[in-house]
């Protein structure tokens, strides 16, 4: 296990941050269990999560999610060298951050568990796949970068699809107040194998980039 390297924040926090306390949000337990107790992820749980996000889909972009892509861009630009190859966008939702991912990757696959989220995508810039990321329809060792912005982490499945020098980009756009939240240390502890780590924050969010130690 390698220590996490925290680098200085260069994009300051904007004004208007919501005053929220999501420490007891129901998705917190789901997020933790997905990362550390995969046996808790049943078909019933997957259906519940899909239905919850289906219900949110029609008003998703009205909630201001498009305003805060800074943590993702910062992670890609300052998180170290990203290998060439396909990128997997996990939990792509309505495609808000997909264009920003495509600025850095030529080949992107976007997946989400919620049918209605995918139906709201206005510009189909990347292939869209509806699937449960507990069972990714992706070949072993075929993905150079797995990008998770406010998305559930299933460590062994992400580890399976990454190339030997692949990276994981984990972003919480509202930092520790994000409903689907794991700290950099928790992401480190969840992933199997040995990795190097770099973490920082931008605007309201936080990010960590994980790189497998070969």
Instruction: Give the span between the Cα atoms of 21 and 203, in whole angstroms.
Output: 18
Instruction: Give the span between the Cα atoms of 17 and 27, in whole angstroms.
Output: 20
HEC string of the chain? CCCEEECCCCECCCCCCCCCCCCCCHHHHHHHHHHHCHHHCCHHHHHHHHHHHHHHHHHHHHHCHHHCCHHHHHHHHHCCCCCCCCEEEECCCCCCCHHHHHCCCCCEEEEECCHHHHHCCCCCCCCEEECCCCCCCCCCCCEEEEEEECCCCCHHHHHHHEEEEEEEEEEECCHHHCCCCCCHHHHHHHCCCCEEEEEEEECCEEEEEEEECC
Cβ neighbours of residue 9 under 8 Å, at least 6 residues apart? 200, 201, 202
Residues 149-178 have pLDDT tens digits of 999 999 999 999 999 999 999 999 999 999
Best CA proximity match to 181, nearest among 46, 10, 20, 13 = 20
**Quick check: pTM over 0.85?**
yes
Residues 92-102 have pLDDT tens digits of 999 999 999 99
Residue 65 has pLDDT above 80, yes or no: no
Instruction: Give the span between the Cα atoms of 24 and 41, in whole angstroms.
Output: 19
Cβ neighbours of residue 186 under 8 Å, at least 6 residues apart? 32, 35
Q: What is the mean pLDDT of the chain?
A: 93
What pLDDT is attached to residue 29? 97
The 10 Å Cβ neighbour count of residue 4 is 17
Which band of pLDDT confidence, cut at 50, 70 and 90, is reported for residue 19?
confident
Residues 84-127 have pLDDT tens digits of 999 999 999 999 999 999 999 989 999 999 999 999 998 888 99
């Amino acid at each position: 296990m390698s220590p996490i390297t925290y680098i200085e924040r260069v994009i300051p926090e904007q004004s208007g941050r919501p005053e929220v306390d999501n420490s007891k949000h129901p998705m917190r337990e789901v997020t933790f269990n997905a990362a550390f107790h995969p046996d808790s992820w049943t078909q019933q749980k997957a259906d519940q999560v899909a239905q919850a996000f289906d219900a949110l889909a029609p008003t998703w972009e009205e909630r201001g999610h498009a305003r805060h892509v800074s943590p993702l861009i910062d992670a890609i630009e300052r998180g170290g060298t990203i290998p060439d190859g396909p990128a997997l966008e996990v939990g792509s939702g309505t495609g808000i951050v997909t264009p920003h991912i495509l600025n850095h990757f030529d080949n992107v696959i976007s997946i989400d568990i919620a049918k209605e989220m995918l139906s709201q995508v206005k510009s189909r810039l990347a292939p869209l796949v509806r699937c449960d990321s507990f069972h990714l329809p992706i070949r072993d060792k075929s993905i150079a970068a797995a990008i998770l912005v406010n998305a559930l982490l299933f460590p062994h499945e992400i580890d399976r699809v990454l190339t030997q020098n692949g990276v994981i980009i984990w972003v919480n756009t509202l930092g520790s107040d994000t409903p689907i939240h794991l700290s950099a240390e928790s992401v480190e502890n969840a992933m199997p194998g040995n990795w190097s780590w770099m973490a920082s924050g931008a605007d309201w969010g936080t990010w960590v980039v994980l790189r497998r130690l070969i």
